[in-house]
Amino acid sequence: MTTGEKIMPFRAKREKTKRLTSIQSMRGYAAVLVLIAHSVDLASMHGERFFMNQWLHLENFGAIGVDLFFVISGFVMANSVANRNGPRASRNFLVMRWLRIAPPYIIISFILIAITIAQRASINPISIANLFLFIPWFDTSTFTMPPLDVGWTLSFEFTFYLLVALMVLLRLGDKIEWLSLGIVALVGLGVVLPDDIFLLQWVTNPIFLEFALGIGAYSLWKRRALETARVGWLALGLSGGLVLVVQAVMGFGDVSEVANIVDGTLSLQRVFWWGVPGAAIFIAVIAFERPSTGIAARISGRIGDASYSIYLVHILALMVYSSAVTHMPFGLPPTVVFVGAIAVGICAGIFYFRFVENPLRLRMETTATIMFRMNSMGNQPQ
């Protein structure tokens, strides 16, 4: 769910090409979808007859942005480790991943922890452990949510990163598609492994299949299969969109509920209902990748760049916004509250990206790169 990776079209190294801008835009759409889901909840608190609760099944539908993030992450990580192999490459990959996602996440989490302490509420130590370690090493029966609720998705992300790093360590970075088969095998093992060990439940959770879908999309793109039969890929994307429209009309059960995903209860159903259609749309979009200009492209790109910050900071921003709306001397219509919440979430995310996430990322990644190079020079034979 992070930003900044440059996705380069698969060409000869000597040919200069632009990154896939559509992926960055889709990151932005995914973040805004999650923001919409939480904005609906906020608007509903300020008015019982909010339109999105009255028509169709749209209340939690924006949660599909998480599944789109997972698909995109599978694609991006497969691309980032292509032809990287060995222990050093594996270590560098994990360090850079942690530096990219952890610092801005920890900063927001600490603010929420401070608020919790100020309200004299208790904090579960395991929640703090899951914040720093991502992997739920200390959970025994269920996942303990980190201080920032959306962090549960980052725990799945980092678990996936460990699997990618393992492939690089085994010198299979140039055959990353094997990881898709490995994920399928892990999910299959989850059916027969003991269900009383939570960590085993976690690493065999069917939600990891969404990362595998992203790797599959990368394999198609790498082999330039998306450059032919574009009508077929368009039809695939439209089919995925149709499935989502049907769900908006007919409903999608409880696949949007986090508790049903972290324990694996409805993860497979969520992959089927949201992950597969999301992957189909994603494939169709990158199959029709075209350079785009104009104000719409610039806005889309700006939101895409700030997508991780929007994802992280919007919960805190909506808390402040909700308090402000509550203390207004006059009431606002729920629809106005909803639109305002989206605007506040996006603006707060862009601000956080501009002044916190991006400068911090650049500084830390530069420092880490220098250290890697010094270490590499120190290990060279004299």
Say if 39 falls within a structural domain.
Answer: yes
End-to-end Cα distance, the chain:
42
Look at 324 and 43; give whichever has higher pLDDT: 324
- The answer to whether 102 touches 108, Cβ cutoff 8 Å, is no
Q: Is the pLDDT of residue 212 over 60?
A: yes
- Total of domains in the chain: 1
Q: What is the DSSP letter of 356?
A: I
Say if 344 falls within a structural domain.
Answer: yes
Say if 249 falls within a structural domain.
Answer: yes
**Residue 330 pLDDT class (50, 70, 90 cuts):** confident
Integer Rg of the chain from CA: 21
Domain span at residue 363 reads 21-375
Q: What's the confidence (pLDDT) of residue 9?
A: 47
Say if 124 falls within a structural domain.
Answer: yes
Say if 14 falls within a structural domain.
Answer: no
Mean pLDDT computed over 153-160: 98
Say if 269 falls within a structural domain.
Answer: yes
Amino acid at 181: L
Q: What's the confidence (pLDDT) of residue 7?
A: 55
CA dist 36 and 303 (Å) reads: 14
Q: What's the confidence (pLDDT) of residue 19?
A: 57
The two most distant CA atoms of the chain are separated, in Å, by 75
Q: Where are the alpha helices (DSSP H) in the chain?
A: 21-45, 51-54, 64-80, 87-118, 125-133, 151-169, 177-192, 198-203, 209-222, 230-250, 259-262, 267-270, 276-287, 295-305, 307-326, 334-352, 358-378
Q: What's the confidence (pLDDT) of residue 18?
A: 43
- The answer to whether 62 touches 145, Cβ cutoff 8 Å, is no
Q: Is the pLDDT of residue 12 over 50?
A: no
pTM: 0.92
Say if 8 falls within a structural domain.
Answer: no
Say if 11 falls within a structural domain.
Answer: no
The string of pLDDT tens digits covering residues 179-192 is: 999 999 999 999 88
Amino acid at 118: A
- The answer to whether 130 touches 139, Cβ cutoff 8 Å, is yes
Q: What's the confidence (pLDDT) of residue 162?
A: 97
Residue-level length of the chain: 382
Q: What's the confidence (pLDDT) of residue 44?
A: 81
The string of pLDDT tens digits covering residues 25-81 is: 999 999 999 999 999 888 888 765 555 555 678 889 999 999 999 999 999 999 999
Residue with tokens 């952890």: 102
Q: What's the confidence (pLDDT) of residue 49?
A: 57
Q: What's the confidence (pLDDT) of residue 50?
A: 56
Q: What's the confidence (pLDDT) of residue 135?
A: 95
CA dist 167 and 220 (Å) reads: 19
